[in-house]
A = this chain, B = another copy of it.
């Protein structure tokens, strides 16, 4: 055991050192001229003000939930004796608070790095593409590494603290169940972070566009627009803080789920089967660091995307190689009949997961890239007006889940069968196969997250360059990086949904294992979720419905919050005519303040729906219904997220395709139609879609934590 402990904590320390190195690299860069710094400071101020206020709201909500968890778990485990119930309740409650705290810290780091890297990337753009690229990617890398290392550290430490290192079989096998609270705490904070941030960013964006571009006729990022700073702040709070918390909870929830399944294989693998997910994560972190360092573009004329893809490729190859040895060493053992486990089959499952992530990135690219059929179809439909643009965009979005679903299905069944073949006659062997595939897919998380956070940093760098009236040549550099950032953002969304979908089966089976434990059934027995029973069918029905209701409220929240922005901007234009003439500065802070309040107010209802619904279903309809809610809610959520993300991405790029001069170019009727589509797609792809990723995992962790209360 000691050697794995060493590996895990060793990697955490290496990651910490890499983070310090990247931070020192970034802070040693030039901060740009005074104008750039002024703008950057405004963004920083607004972003931090939002985060502080958001965390206050989340803290209150989290404390209420923590109390409920402790009480619920006390009652749910009362039958095991008062002492045991108290101990259980406190362990889960403490794990929840730790998870929530770590998730919040992840969001904070993402934001802090983004607001400090943006101005340096803008300044670096004056020295050339490579400089700016490296600053932006390493800024993102800090977030990626911090989030994954923190998740690894948190889960590992809780596991050992809760008895994982005790050497007593019963304590060790019980530990993963006690840390599910960590996953739930992480998802809980991530949901509100992603929702609040997503509402903020799109409310500011839509509001700024509708009054600025449409009503006042001024260009994007024009300093005369009172909402322009709010818009730039939005990129950080939505894409950085939100996504940071989102992927933190992904890695945490899926690690914990895989560890619970590892308990079922204790007779074969012992502690190694439980620790494998953590070691796989550790390998992924090292591979990502190497991948990130690899990225540079010596030839300034090349598409920076090529450099980023090279880094991704390096990370993947290292993972594929090192995971082989990890599987060989950790997942070998003897079956009850004395045969050795065929570890090659389990390695196959890991490779299937890695391949699936590539397929997802490829398919997302097909549906959202400018050069492919779907986007071009939307651009063409724009020539007959906004209505046909919208109809085509929705049609493209609704088509887009088809292939991803077929590939996920194939990956699940392959991984499941490989698990069954490797570990015959063990009921949960197939599920463990899918867990290994998920670990394979998630092994590149740190790199993906770095690419993802790269997006808003370059977006902000572009904004700062524009607002500080830097020379055209600098803007060309930031524009190229920004285009590249848009692509990486779309691709990482595809990756996030794909991993959520693959993890479904893993989290679902972890829930079933919990249920079996509560019912006192042996862990290697089978627990059927029979959708032919009316209450189970209804659980499934409600699960699918909640996804629509949640999306509806999330999308509506953007509309409402944007309304606040529009009214404020109109008021400023009216009361201070000097703004439009350029003689007086608009009150940016006031707009920032208004979006902040609006977004925080509007995030509460959709958030509560997701938290309350699964608990109610479980309490009223029972454990089996909750399982059906979980599965069909996930199915429905994955498909809806693909529809919203890909539809939104396709609309965005259809508009950009027209702006390149096609179908009449900018200011043509086709362009106007394209703008309508892009605006409709904004809350799809940046608010509801990403929040659904969190929803999918939240309903898993919440049912895990409250399972003991269900009928």
Contacts and interface: CB of A to CB of B under 8 A. Distances in A.
Interface string A7-41: 00000000000000000000000000000000000
A593 interface: no
Interface string A526-542: 11111110110110111
Given A541-B405, A544-B636, A631 B531 contact: yes
A385 B207 CA distance: 12
B392 A556 contact: yes
B509 A532 contact: yes
A343 to B, nearest CB: 21
Interface in A381-402: 381, 384-388, 390-392, 394-399, 401-402
A347 interface: no
A500 B384 CA distance: 36
A336 interface: no
What are the 7 closest A-B residue pairs judged by CB atoms, nearest first? A398-B552, A387-B679, A399-B552, A528-B530, A405-B545, A395-B556, A409-B538
B508 A381 contact: no
Given A390-B680, A412-B538, A636-B636, A532 B399 contact: no
A408 interface: yes
Nearest to A548: B398
Given A391-B680, A559-B381, A396 B537 contact: no
Q: How many copies does the complex hold?
A: 2
Please classify the interface of chain A as helix (H, G, I), strand (E, B), loop, or mixed, using the class held by over half of its residues.
helix
A131 to B, nearest CB: 38
A395 to B, nearest CB: 4
Interface string A32-69: 00000000000000000000000000000000000000
B544 A635 contact: yes
Interface string A627-639: 1100110011001
Contacts of A508: 532
Which residue of A385, A531, A555, A643 has the most chain B CB atoms within 10 A of its CB atom? A531
Interface of A: 206, 210, 214, 381, 384-388, 390-392, 394-399, 401-402, 405-406, 408-409, 412-413, 416, 430, 434, 505, 508-509, 512, 526-532, 534-535, 537-538, 540-542, 544-545, 548-549, 551-553, 555-556, 558-559, 562-563, 566, 627-628, 631-632, 635-636, 639, 643, 675-676, 679-680, 683
A210 B385 contact: yes
Given A540-B635, A545-B402, A631-B540, A416 B386 contact: no
A532 B636 CA distance: 16
Nearest to A211: B384
A212 B531 CA distance: 51
A198 to B, nearest CB: 14
